[in-house]
Structure 1
Amino acid sequence: MDAGRAVAVAVTFLWLGMVLAISFLEAPLKFRAPDVTVRIGLGIGRVVFRALNTAEAVLAVVLVVAALLGSPPAGSVVAGAAAVAVLLAQLLAVRPRLTRRSDLVLAGADAPRSHAHHVYIALEVAKVVALVLTGVLLLR
């Protein structure tokens, strides 16, 4: 395995692990902790997801560069591109809507529940699938 491909494998599984740990473990569990209100949970979530999304963007760039410098299998390129596209959709289309709602809640307004949260979760699942496929195909 060449160095570019090894970097791509490492970055893919690091990215996958971060998404699984934050989106599917930390995010739902924080609201079950004693004395964590919706406002506190949203405040923590904003900080955590801003950091996660920043790390994801960096990892996506590294993955793209590794793919450009190496010769990964075509399937892994397609799956990796799907993961990057999902991240972009989350950052550009869904996160701004979630931020507007959380701004209202943090300001004390009674904002209705947002369907954007469900869209974000569905995109997280799609991203996880794309990252698993990317990693597996890179290891072949």
Structure 2
Amino acid sequence: MTAWAVAVAVTFTWIGMVLAISFVEAPLKFRAPGVTVPIGLGIGRLVFRALNAVELVFALVLLSGFAARTPPVAAGIASGVAVAALAAQLLLVRPVLGRRTRAVLAGQEPPRSPAHLAYVALEFGKLVALLTGGVLLLTS
């Protein structure tokens, strides 16, 4: 399998993981019987830490595929937007969410944070960018 084919496969696998975890698992876990906010946040912290680690690997694999073969400009831009969204999530938003989660797990009741909405917006943008980039890569 060529590096290009791996880049395409990684893009679509990444899409599936974001859809499954961010848009299915995360909201549903709080609806399960017996799942309190602290339990849900504890689970979410573990799940998103794992997701983000895999996403970092996927971003590196995608970029290495581009090193092997230059993508079409639009595909490169879309994929770059996805990687930038991931970077923003990890460097700007996750630390804020992490502080709030630690406070809740310590028994405090901090005010709701707009950082959660920022994370969701970045997640949606990342998903659109990955889908756009993936389709453009697949058809090139």
Task: Report the TM-score when normalising by structure 2.
Answer: 0.97
Aligned-pair distance for 1:75?
Answer: 1.1
Aligned-pair distance for 1:5?
Answer: 1.7
* Alpha-carbon distance between aligned partners in 1 of 2:80 and 2:12, rounded to the nearest angstrom: 15
Residue deviations 1:2-38 (CA, integer Å, cap 9, x gap): 8122111100001110000000000000000000000
- Report if aligned partners of 1:5, 1:71 keep a CA contact under 8 Å in 2: no
* Alpha-carbon distance between aligned partners in 2 of 1:117 and 1:66, rounded to the nearest angstrom: 32
Aligned-pair distance for 1:129?
Answer: 0.4
Matches within 5 A, 1:63-82: 63-82=62-81
Opposite residue 102 of structure 1, the aligned amino acid is T
Alignment-derived partner of residue 92 in structure 2: 93
Gaps of 5+ in 2: none
Aligned-pair distance for 1:109?
Answer: 0.4
Residue deviations 1:29-79 (CA, integer Å, cap 9, x gap): 000000000000000000000000000000000000001111321211111
Alignment-derived partner of residue 23 in structure 1: 22
Aligned-pair distance for 1:83?
Answer: 0.4
- Count matched residues: 139
Task: Report the TM-score when normalising by structure 1.
Answer: 0.97
